A and B are shown apart, each in its own frame.
Chain A
Amino acid sequence: MKTIALLTVLAIGAFLLYGTPEFPAWGDPQAPAALHVSPYYIEHTIEDTAVPNVVTSVLADYRGYDTMFETSVIFAAGLACLMLLRRYQPKTQETRLYRHVPTGITLRIAQGGKIPEASDEFERIDSQWVPYDLIVKLTARLIVPFAQLFALYVIAHGHHSPGGGFQGGVIYGAALILYAVSFDLRSTFRRLSERTAILLSAAGVLIYASTGFLCMLMGGNFLDYGYLAPLLGGDPVMARSHGIFIVEIGVGMAVMAVMVSLYYNLASAGRHDEGL
């Protein structure tokens, strides 16, 4: 079986390499893709949308449909992971570990045992015990806010520099995942619960799609942001720029929430109590 698979892969690879010389050379100005569509985007982006970064204007304006369904694909991936992995089961009485904060002593509470309620001196720790690490936690606490700020900058500055909703959303999600890795899953749930993550991912797709429908309500085509000018103020060109920004916010929200929710499900094997 393995040899058949290897032979298939090798044959397909040979075919692909055989076809490669037929492609136009890299950066060839006479390539079919560079002859018809690209010059229009490169020449008209500024006067159409007032966005200096051509990639952003193509991604979110000229080809807004594609990006909307890419966002839906990511949303669907998050939902699929949730449905496959998430386990809803009643809280069983299991052995839990607690740390007595002032002394650093670890307590093992056997099944059904209780610690004094209303006591702030105990904090629950994961049963796959990791040593308390001050350096890791302090470093993460320093990095996370700047990573989040950088993510917001990447989303907002995608008009002028590389970046946009996808990258910014992923960086924001990575900051939250860094927090979850260096602290634990339960303290991350207090910041962003599972419910909020799912709602945010759906809301991101909703923002994108409803911007498109708003354009239809205002008399234009789907995702034709120029018709939002009466609502946003300014002329249609600036309205297209602002429309791109609104859509990027939606993409960023959806991507951030899906990344975090994927991590929640994978790291805790769907139980959402203890994790990496």
Chain B
Amino acid sequence: MIWPVDLIIMLLVIICGLGALAVRDLLGAAILFGAYSFMMCLLWAIMGAVDVAFTEASVGAGVSTVLFVAAVFRTSRRTKD
């Protein structure tokens, strides 16, 4: 595998994960979590697990982001802590 691509995607996974934890705006956290899922999907595809990558792309990056956004829409956009 092309290791620089691998490394960049790994770094982006970690950055998106930490960002989703750190961001105060919950809508931004949901979007960052979607980006995290998409990077994970690329990582699965690199490792050859195409079925898992497909599931990650549709469930993680697709529907769960929409569900998070819907939940934020019905609750509040700011975290308390």
Contacts and interface: CB of A to CB of B under 8 A. Distances in A.
B63 A266 contact: no
Given A170-B58, A171-B58, A174-B63, A163 B51 contact: yes
Interface string A252-276: 0000000100110011110000011
Nearest to B59: A170
A162 interface: yes
Given A266-B71, A267-B74, A276-B73, A162 B51 contact: yes
B28 to A, nearest CB: 17
Given A162-B51, A163-B54, A174 B62 contact: yes
A173 interface: yes
Contacts of B74: 266-269
A267 B70 contact: yes
B73 A267 contact: yes
Interface of A: 26, 53, 55-56, 59, 154, 162-164, 166-167, 170-171, 173-174, 177, 181, 259, 262-263, 266-269, 275-276
* Nearest 6 pairs of A and B residues by beta carbon: A267-B70, A266-B70, A162-B50, A170-B58, A269-B74, A55-B51
